[in-house]
Chains A and B, each alone.
Chain A
């Protein structure tokens, strides 16, 4: 029980950035736009968070700066995919490459400097004595709590509100949505920007909570794991929560094995999350070989009003 609680606590701490990135991706992909730039956006979010926090020392300013850069990146992606109707896969790839280059360039000066301070924790002291709940929930940081709230809010939004119905409509069948009077292009812009803010927040969370020093390429493929998570979670926020913690646990399981004192070289233990991602996706593909994957039906297809179907 003790060990299980420890693993879950570690999974939450390393899974929260994945969860934010996956939730942002779900929001974007539900509106029918493929988002593969998560790695670059997370890196830029992390480096901006680091620079802003070191220079101002204020968490609010830091988060605002991250939101600002994310809005800019989201606008670029939306302009490319919605207005120019460019290849969404390549646009995302370009964002990843540009993000990793720019973040390395911007982060050179703050590289290796630990951030001053940390994200405040929500101390629930009455939980301290409670077995299991105590070690997991008593001293979580506010960003983790925000992610819980976000999961519930997004679930209710997508499945229980008329705005959520519109979101699903523009992702599944934009011509019908357009006939219903929903502004497909405008909403796609909005959702891409909103989702990109969440992905940027994922990078900030990674830096502020998980590893509080900027190093070049610090996300180490987590943006891409988040892309895999979206498929794994079948574009559903609540499933995304569990999937993110599963991958969070995979991320930390290597450290745990090392702590036990195993003989396996750490390089192989560090391969676990990457190998598991591929295996899980393969398992999923095999299991749902003749079934719909749950992806929005117009994912990746630009919508042009004049085009006949």
Chain B
């Protein structure tokens, strides 16, 4: 049971993440863009963050950098969602402080596998 922050401007993606992770026993907190995600991350602690990269207001890359600058986020895994096959984006996000990624479109099993890989009881 982990507390997971999901940041995506697409409500359907957030909903799907919630539908997959909720029944697996995780508590999912939603945010609609990077700055909302950052605000929520400052307000409570999380075991994992799953974020989109392309978002209005504050994009995922900026949010990951800001999260990594928070003392409370040292060692907290951050996973980003990407449709890009191109490695440059992954490199950039990793350099910003991301732990891993999930390639969109993903299946529920893939999401669960990544969460299980990064969140330990």
A and B part of one assembly: no
